[in-house]
Amino acid sequence: MNPRRKKRLTLAVALIAGVAAVASLLLYALNSNLNLFYTPYEITHGKNDTGVMPEVGQRIRVGGMVTVGSMKRDPNSLHVEFAVHDSAGGEIIVTFDDLLPDLFREGQGIVAQGVLVESGKLEATEVLAKHDENYMPPEVAEAMGQKHEKPEYSEKQAEGYKY
């Protein structure tokens, strides 16, 4: 083989190996930071279309309503534990060791992000509460089976917005 051709072949193989290494590291990083959205029912019974259940140790987001009467606070720390349920009948326990949002309360829609520590128990790193009684994140609204629409204005209200 010609030395010039051998040098080109070595360079091409090195370039392909480098691109493959970068791509595999990128995919690994993206996979470890991926957090999928689940409802409490899907955590305990699996996704409706695929039957896939989250694994223990997986980072996930869960959305639903805080079960009334389920909140337990530790009087000596910020640790709080509460149940989250959905309309399909699923319920999981969420633990959180930080300040809850000001709008958080029982009977409220929330989204919690964290790690599944055991089947039916989530250790949350972040808890988000919906900001008023009319708004619900699209994922939670879809999971809860509710419609998610923009509010409609009457003609009189709309006239005030015309230019």
Query: Which positions make up the binding site?
Result: 131, 135
> Please, what sign has the CA dihedral across residues 49, 50, 52, 58?
negative
Q: State whether residue 144 is helix, strand or coil.
A: helix
Distance CA 38, CA 62 (A): 5
Annotated binding site for heme: 131, 135
The DSSP secondary structure of 25-50, one letter per residue, reads: HHHHHHHHT--EEE-HHHHHH--TTT
All residues at 6 or more sequence positions from 23 whose CB lies less than 8 Å from its CB, including other chains: none
Pairing status of strand 109-118 against strand 59-66 = antiparallel
